[in-house]
Amino acid sequence: MLNLVQAAESAARNPPPSSSSSATFADPRRGFCSFEFFPPKTDAGVANLMERMERMVAAGPLFVDVTWRSGGETSAVSLAIAKAARQLLGPDRVMLHMTCAGASKATLVSHLATAAAAGVQCILALRGDDLDDFEEQNNAPFKYAIDLVRLIRSEFTNKFTVAVAGYPEGHGGIGYAVNLKHLKEKVDAGADFIITQMVYNAEVFLQFLQDCRGIGITCPIIPGIMPITNYQQFIRIISLTKVMVPDDLLDALRAVKHDDAAVRDIGSSFVLQLIQQFQNAGVFGVHFYTMNLEEPVVGLAETAGLLDPASVKIRSSEQQELAGEVRPIYWQHRPTSYMVRTSDWSEFPNGRWGDHQSPAFGDLSDFHLAAVHPPTVSPRHAIIQKELDTDITICRRLKTEQDVFEVFAKYVQGDIPMIPWCSNPLDSETSSISQRLANLNRHGILTINSQPAVNGVPSTDSVFGWGPADGLVYQKAYVEFFCDSQRLDKLERVLSAHRHLTLHAIRADGTERVGATNHTTALTWGVFPNREIVQPTIMDPVSFRVWSTEAFTLWQRHWARLYPASSTERALLSTIAHSYWLVTVVDNNFVASTLFDALDQVVMA
């Protein structure tokens, strides 16, 4: 793959005489790009990704890569997707992520041998998430990406092309110069080229490129970009990665944050300008973090002249083969199918309750060049986490369950800027019920997502509006929370008098308690001139089950790990994680909702 990248860079720098030399997108092809895909969380999503990936590959990226969740959790499906991509593009145009933190040498060698047997010839070597236990992490044989690079070179020599991650704005809480030093060490250990974390500032990347060259890094360096398609997702990503974004872009996006089409238009225009700045400076390759989205990514790449469809030759026999290879991996857990709500849902995936059949159904833990989990720190430093930017943090002393309840209450009151399940302050619509939520939280109904009912509010409303102008928006009241078995028992008794309220509860061990009706239902929808009804948010039992795994994990990975292993706080949070229920309740009567009245009854003495 290194030869491909070098040849593509050379071709872009030395175009045929007939090509325009102006710094515009007038030329049919001015550079190259790569597409990153992640394994969706359901079998239906994986099967649909196969179809989408086939179309996107046919557009002509230089190569594609497939992510690999830390710990090898998605190893089987990641390998299957990579193998399918290899059949479409060829063995030298597919890259597979691999993480090493906490893994044994035998496990990593096995994964690498399996990848080689599947025809994968390029590995993106990453550290991955730290282990939950600081001492265990400190004693692990593979702690850093350089350890994986060295392993590949020692065990497989030149069997693989090896890529590594670069961080133009630093990474891991260490200084910029130290990050550069570590990057140089990875290259010296055998890495062939570099892909960067997403960047939205051309000057930042170009300075990083210059600094790399200044310390002797001569290999190709490809900037990463994630197309901007949804405001909330974008804000969450940049808050987690700490990447710099121009203020004028943030202001423009904030002004239209409830209109996904407008957000995408502004984001696309900005990204095209960014790519042009790269090209003007002699940087002709771009790595797209696609988030498994098709139209916005391919549209950008085509406009920027980064695709070469003529380079792709897909044989029909291989197309048929790949469809059969991935499905059996998840087939035993095949979720119940349901009608896709709108044809463009996957291009506007906003809201937690996504379509589980969508190729884009996943979470941000599938984005591996960002530290989406807090970095492991020594126990003595855990209570001064700077990411929270406040003196009142989730790292406070926790001796009883009531102390935990108070953290949730303070979040909905705005006294704490985030909790593990919510990386941003409350939306304005939720703020309208914040006092009721605070009371519920102080009584053990630990809310992590909620919305009030809305009946025909103008789409331009400053609090509840979204989408294009001249529309009407609607939503059902719903709430999602953690609670113990005693409170859940009482809630079920209360709900017997509220037949329009639907409950679904699940525990960390997979035990479920489901109401009489438990089907996919729209939570938010809008009616707009000359358009079909739009349903951007749904409640889907399959999606809820998938999300619950992550939700329970956050108790341990994002919160309990901030305390020493033997602490009262960690024991308390672990007990809650294993004994509490994750509950969602939907009020199907959006005209006269009684959801929060019912919850008030549960917490009444």
Residues with a known catalytic role? 36
569 within 8 A of 484, measured Cβ to Cβ? no
CA distance 179 to 488: 49
Between the two ends of the chain, the Cα-to-Cα distance in Å is 67
Q: Quick count: other Cβ atoms within 10 Å of Cβ 396? A: 15
492 within 8 A of 502, measured Cβ to Cβ? no
351 within 8 A of 524, measured Cβ to Cβ? yes
104 within 8 A of 85, measured Cβ to Cβ? no
Burial label, 284 (beta-carbon count in 10 A; 0-12, 13-18, 19+): buried
- Residue 250 half-sphere exposure toward CB, CA atoms < 13 A: 11
CA distance 296 to 45: 19
DSSP 490-545: HHHHHHTT-TTEEEEEEETTS-EEE-S----EEEEEEE-TTSPPEEEEEE-HHHHH
DSSP 61-105: -SEEEE---GGGTTHHHHHHHHHHHHHHH-GGGEEEEEE-TT--H
CA distance 40 to 358: 8
The enclosing H or E element of 276 equals: helix 260-280
474 within 8 A of 505, measured Cβ to Cβ? no
* C-alpha pair distances (Å), 27 with each of 24, 92, 275, 304: 7, 27, 14, 9
State the residue for tokens 């509010």.
457
Q: What is the DSSP letter of 422?
A: B
Q: What is the DSSP letter of 546?
A: H
CA distance 242 to 387: 10
